[in-house]
Amino acid sequence: MEKKMSITATAAAVGKVTLLAGEIINLTKTLKEADTLPNVPFPTLGGKVFWNTIAEQDGWKVQKNMFTQHCRVLDPNNIRLAWGFSEEALLAELQKLAAKKG
């Protein structure tokens, strides 16, 4: 037997989905406004696909993803040490990390 939702239940479900969508939009906006985001050092393949290298210094790289437009800092061993949406902040992070690890 087919069960139908009442108009009230449907409206409540739509309301919850709308609130969730709003929360996701707010989270995305917050992430894009942050200079850098929390990072766990993570091995990468070096960005040969989907990434453009926008700066390089002594084997360190700042790369920008072609689709999401987020950036990341890779060390000379292609380990991601920082990431975020602010290209300027990641360029500064590259300088800081490269000088520190020297």
Fill in the DSSP letter of residue 69.
-
If pLDDT is split at 50, 70 and 90, which confidence band does 8 have?
Answer: confident
Whole-number percent of the chain with pLDDT over 90: 55
Task: Provide the domain limits for residue 16.
Answer: 1-33
What are φ and ψ of residue 51, in 5° steps? -125, 140
DSSP state of 68: T
Range in 58-62, 67-71, 84-88, 96-100 with the lowest mean pLDDT: 96-100
Q: Find out whether 97 and 82 touch, Cβ atoms under 8 Å.
A: yes
17 exposed, middle or buried (CB, 10 Å; 0-12, 13-18, 19+)? exposed
Do 19 and 61 fall into the same domain? no
Q: Is residue 46 domain-shared with residue 92, that is, in the same domain?
A: yes
Is there a single domain that holds both residue 11 and residue 59? no
pTM of the predicted protein model? 0.69
